[in-house]
Amino acid sequence: GQQLNQSPQSMFIQEGEDVSMNCTSSSIFNTWLWYKQDPGEGPVLLIALYKAGELTSNGRLTAQFGITRKDSFLNISASIPSDVGIYFCAGLNTGTASKLTFGTGTRLQVTL
């Protein structure tokens, strides 16, 4: 099935650094979601975006719904060790199909 392209694929950063990752699609979505997956667990919803241009924060996390509706961005400020995991974007078009299309994931490693 279709997948969204995320970049970077993996990141190694030091504790305290800021992180940026993005997600791009050839298709337009009207909802963008960001999930985090810890080892051995299922993905957990972090942020949901419903309008082009929308900027939403959840603690140290900030996500944006791209103006073109074909991309989204996630920033993490002042990273901490528990930020380690895989971050997935997901797109949804509620008008045509009630199913999420997931990105390929960005693996984040945080060193002390």
Partner 1 sequence: DAGVIQSPRHEVTEMGQEVTLRCKPISGHDYLFWYRQTMMRGLELLIYFNNNVPIDDSGMPEDRFSAKMPNASFSTLKIQPSEPRDSAVYFCASSFGVPYGYTFGSGTRLTVV
Positions that interact with partner 1 (CB under 8 A): 1, 3, 31, 33, 40-45, 48, 50, 88, 92, 94, 97-100, 102-105
Which residue number, 15 or 99, has a Cβ lying nearer to partner 1? 99
Write the secondary structure of 56-104 as one string of H (helix), E (strand) and C (coil): EEECCEEEEECCCCCEEEEEECCCCHHHCEEEEEEEECCCCCCCCEEEC
DSSP bridge partners of 107: 10, 86
Which residue number, 45 or 80, has a Cβ lying nearer to partner 1? 45
Which residue number, 33 or 110, has a Cβ lying nearer to partner 1? 33
